[in-house]
């Protein structure tokens, strides 16, 4: 792995070696008792099933053939006993095997999610989220079916195959040889056609996946679809995908129905042939009617076991590939993690930030330096604004401060402590962040604000909401703070989302605030109120802000002008207007400022221009 995480997507090749399944042994170990009980029940149920054949032979020969009602009653009682034993053992096998499968999958999902949520941002930069979700859900579900069903069925069928074969030989060696001569003629077509059915089934699943992906994409972008009046166009596209899915499903149904018919024809044809041969042996006295009946019973059992094993082996191979893919995730290590001897953060940070000759390039484009040996400092409790054209490196500074990436060279420190020597999680807990596009979760307003500090009380959440000027609009929602905000906060306006994010940051009570223009989505009326709220929140805290609006730069203690990954100048708004041509141009383009410091007062009052710049891209 590169120093900044993986640079390629995860290997999507599906493993075929059943040896991969051994890697699940560590997840089975905690449930040894349940596995042992499942194996015991499996053995008993298989033995009970095999015993039914002997009971059938005894029933016919001793009860019916000899016209002995007492023996007939004993035979029926024996069969009933075997049936009850088989039912009880089957219940125990099914319960213990399925429960172990569910527990193993639950442990796997917990471990995989825990590993993924802790991976560095560079990993997600190069890995598709859909691929990860597929592994977390589809692959684990496949493993659940294998551990919870297929492995026990494979063992059961192996026992039935071995036991049935032994009893066939014991009953009639002649007919057993005949059965094994016919077995390939029955099983081989089923194997070949079964593979074709699986291929067609995968195609049908792919068509369903295409349909689902299209529906999800268009429904998430429903505002764009309706704004462009493309509803009919999307209906036709979706209808086409439904048609393709239906065609694939009908093909699968047709082939599977033919397979069922072929199974019936081959297996029952073989049974009839064996019955015909055995009937002649009964007539000549070479075997009894009961022996013939039990032989047919075991022959059907052996054929079914062989047919089932072919399907199970295919499923086990797919599961082996799923295990390989999950274990690949579980062996990943984040590039950004706590050092072996992490430095402890002071109980009270001063918030003195310093960048010293920091150079950085994103892992996806290592040849292009986004930050070029930049140096600056933010004194404790001060407010520093970053301005510059899109792509100048402003957001990258936030990314490095948050330890989402590690710089190739240079040093970033807080209160003299190199942040690379800190535990990233503990360091991030001391920061408050308000992004330009805040993340709103599919939950209530309570949950969204409390996400900033999950142990916060209701009173603290309310106080943070009031400070962020969010209390009034939240109270007016249909269920107040308990209102479900919809996926990605679809029930809120842009300004409301931003105020919710501000409340979340305030709730953390951080020493260092990182604001990616926290008022950029607010209208002029609300901007002043939120600016006043942030003014209170910033008191005594170190604040670094990416500035897109004039009101922000006017209130900054110092402004850093960035261009092409370097800090070109620093100073106050008035100083930079007079001394720096780049800032003067930015002020004219971004803030609507005249190239003169005398315009300072007029724009301090209006403060309603917006930036056209965007966040840095890796």
Of 19-33, 60-74, 484-498, 502-516, where does mean pLDDT reach its minimum? 60-74
Q: pLDDT tier at 607 (50, 70, 90 boundaries)?
A: very low
The CA-CA-CA angle for residues 571, 575, 577, to 5°, reads 110
Under 8 Å between Cβ of 219 and 263: no
Give the model's pLDDT for residue 566. Answer: 92
- DSSP symbol at 41: H
User: In the prediction, which pLDDT does 604 show?
Assistant: 36
pLDDT at 371 over 90: yes
pLDDT tier for residue 519 given thresholds of 50, 70 and 90: low
Mean pLDDT throughout 403-412?
Answer: 92
Please check whether the domain covering 349-430+512-613 is classified as CATH 3.40.50.300. Answer: yes
Give the 3-state secondary structure of residue 351. coil
Fold equal for 9-171+315-335 and 437-509: no
pLDDT for position 345: 84
CB atoms within 10 A of CB 397: 27
Say yes or no to pLDDT of 49 above 80.
no
The answer to whether 298 and 55 are in contact (CB under 8 A) is no
Q: Pick the range with the lowest mean pLDDT from 169-173, 267-271, 599-603.
A: 599-603
pLDDT at 524 over 70: no
What is the percentage of the chain residues whose pLDDT exceeds 90? 13
Cβ count near 144 (within 10 Å): 23
For residue 438, what pLDDT is reported?
A: 84
Q: What is the pLDDT of residues 539-598, one digit of tens each?
A: 778 999 988 777 778 888 999 999 999 999 999 988 998 898 888 888 877 665 554 444
The class that CATH gives domain 437-509 is alpha beta
pLDDT per residue over 500-514, tens digit each? Answer: 888 898 898 888 999
DSSP 519: T
Residue 3, pLDDT > 70, answer no
- Predicted pLDDT of residue 608: 34
Please tell me the predicted confidence (pLDDT) of residue 353: 94
Question: Tokens 């009961």 — which residue?
Answer: 290
pLDDT exceeds cutoff 60 at 152: yes
Please state, rounded to an integer, the average pLDDT across all residues of the chain. Answer: 80
More confident residue, 508 or 267: 508
Judge whether residue 355 has pLDDT over 90.
Answer: yes
pLDDT at 328 over 50: yes
Which DSSP letter does residue 488 get? Answer: G
Once rounded to an integer, what is the mean pLDDT over residues 31-52?
Answer: 84
Q: How far apart are the C-alpha atoms of 583 and 118, rounded to whole Å?
A: 39
**pLDDT number for residue 526:** 63
Backbone angles phi, psi at 479, to 5 degrees: -120, 25
pLDDT at 560: 94
pLDDT score recorded for residue 603: 34
Mean per-residue pLDDT for 489-499?
Answer: 82
Among 42-46, 459-463, 609-613, which is the least confidently predicted range? 609-613
pLDDT the model gives residue 91:
86
Task: Determine the Cα–Cα distance for residues 332 and 395; give it in Å rounded to an integer.
Answer: 27
Q: What pLDDT was estimated at residue 67? A: 65
How confident is residue 322, by pLDDT bands cut at 50, 70 and 90?
confident
HEC profile of 349-391: CCCCEEEEEEEECCCCCCCCCCEEEEEEEECCCCEEEEECCCC
Q: Which CATH superfamily is domain 9-171+315-335 in?
A: ABC transporter type 1, transmembrane domain (1.20.1560.10)
Max intra-chain CA distance, the chain: 122
**Beta partners for residue 414, in sequence order:** 353, 417
Give the burial class of 460: count Cβ atoms within 10 A of its Cβ; 0-12 exposed, 13-18 middle, 19 or more buried.
Answer: middle
End-to-end CA distance of the chain: 19
Tokens of 280: 């002649």
User: Could you read off the pLDDT of 280-294 as tens digits, one per residue?
Assistant: 877 887 777 787 778
Which is more confidently placed, 193 or 31? 31
Residue boundaries of the structural domains of the chain: 9-171+315-335, 173-286, 349-430+512-613, 437-509
Question: Which range is least confidently modeled, 431-440, 534-543, 604-613?
Answer: 604-613
Cα separation, 415 vs 395, in Å, equals: 22
Lowest mean pLDDT among 76-80, 146-150, 610-614: 610-614
Whether the per-residue pLDDT at 376 is higher than 90: the answer is: yes
Question: Would you say residue 39 has pLDDT above 80?
Answer: yes
The two beta strands, 566-571 and 353-360, are unpaired
């Amino acid at each position: 792995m590169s120093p900044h995480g993986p640079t390629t997507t995860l290997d999507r090749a599906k493993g075929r070696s059943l040896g991969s399944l051994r890697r699940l042994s560590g997840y089975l170990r905690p449930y040894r008792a349940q596995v042992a009980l499942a194996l015991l029940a499996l053995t008993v149920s298989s033995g009970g099933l095999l015993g039914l054949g002997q009971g059938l032979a005894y029933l016919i020969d001793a009860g019916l053939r000899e016209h002995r009602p007492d023996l007939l009653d004993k035979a029926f009682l024996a069969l009933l006993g075997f049936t009850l034993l088989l039912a009880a053992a089957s219940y125990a096998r099914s319960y213990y095997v399925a429960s172990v499968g569910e527990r193993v999958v639950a442990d796997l999902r917990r471990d995989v999610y825990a590993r993924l949520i802790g991976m560095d941002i560079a990993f997600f930069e190069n890995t598709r989220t859909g691929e990860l979700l597929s592994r977390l859900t589809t692959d684990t579900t496949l493993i659940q079916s294998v551990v919870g069903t297929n492995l026990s069925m494979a063992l059961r069928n192996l026992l039935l195959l071995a036991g049935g074969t032994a009893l066939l030989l014991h009953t009639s060696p002649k007919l057993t040889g005949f059965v094994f001569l016919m077995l390939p003629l029955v099983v081989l077509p089923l194997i070949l056609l079964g593979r074709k059915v699986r291929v067609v089934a995968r195609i049908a699943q792919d068509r369903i996946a295409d349909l689902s992906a299209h529906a999800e994409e268009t429904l998430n972008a429903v505002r764009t679809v309706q704004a462009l009046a493309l509803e009919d166009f999307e209906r036709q596209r979706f209808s086409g995908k439904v048609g393709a899915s239906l065609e694939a499903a009908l093909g699968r149904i047709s082939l599977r129905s033919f397979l069922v018919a072929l199974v019936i024809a081959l297996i029952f044809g073989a049974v009839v042939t064996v019955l015909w041969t055995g009937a002649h042996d009964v007539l000549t006295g070479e075997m009894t009617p009961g022996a013939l009946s039990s032989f047919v019973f075991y022959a059907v059992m052996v054929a079914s076991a062989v047919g089932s094993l072919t399907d199970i082996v295919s499923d086990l191979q797919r599961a082996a590939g799923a295990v390989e893919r999950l274990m690949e995730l579980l062996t990943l290590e984040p590039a950004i993690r706590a050092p072996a001897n992490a430095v402890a953060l002071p109980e009270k940070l001063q918030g003195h930030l310093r960048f010293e000759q920091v150079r950085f390039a994103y892992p996806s484009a290592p040849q292009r330096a986004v930050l070029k040996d930049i140096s600056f400092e933010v004194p404790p409790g001060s407010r520093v604004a970053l301005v510059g054209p899109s792509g100048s490196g402003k957001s990258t500074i936030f990314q490095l401060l948050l330890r989402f990436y590690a710089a190739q060279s240079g040093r970033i420190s807080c209160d003299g402590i190199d942040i690379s020597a800190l535990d990233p999680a503990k360091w991030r807990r001391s920061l408050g962040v308000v992004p330009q596009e805040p993340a709103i979760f599919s939950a209530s307003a309570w949950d969204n604000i409390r996400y900033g500090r999950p142990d916060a009380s209701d009173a603290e959440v309310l106080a943070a909401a009031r400070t962020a000027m969010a209390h009034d609009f939240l109270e007016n929602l249909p269920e107040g703070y308990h209102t479900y905000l919809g996926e990605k906060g679809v029930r809120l306006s842009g300004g409301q989302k931003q105020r919710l994010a501000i409340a979340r940051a305030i709730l953390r009570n951080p020493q260092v605030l990182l604001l990616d223009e926290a008022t950029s989505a607010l209208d002029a009326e609300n901007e002043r109120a939120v600016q006043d709220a942030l003014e209170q929140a910033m008191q005594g805290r170190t604040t670094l802000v990416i500035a897109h609006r004039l009101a922000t730069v006017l209130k900054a203690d110092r402004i850093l002008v960035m261009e092409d990954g370097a800090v070109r100048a620093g100073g106050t708004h008035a100083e930079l207007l007079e001394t720096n041509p780049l800032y003067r141009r930015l002020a004219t383009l971004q803030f609507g400022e005249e190239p003169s410091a005398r315009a300072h007062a007029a724009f301090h009052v209006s403060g309603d221009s917006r930036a056209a710049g965007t966040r840095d891209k890796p």
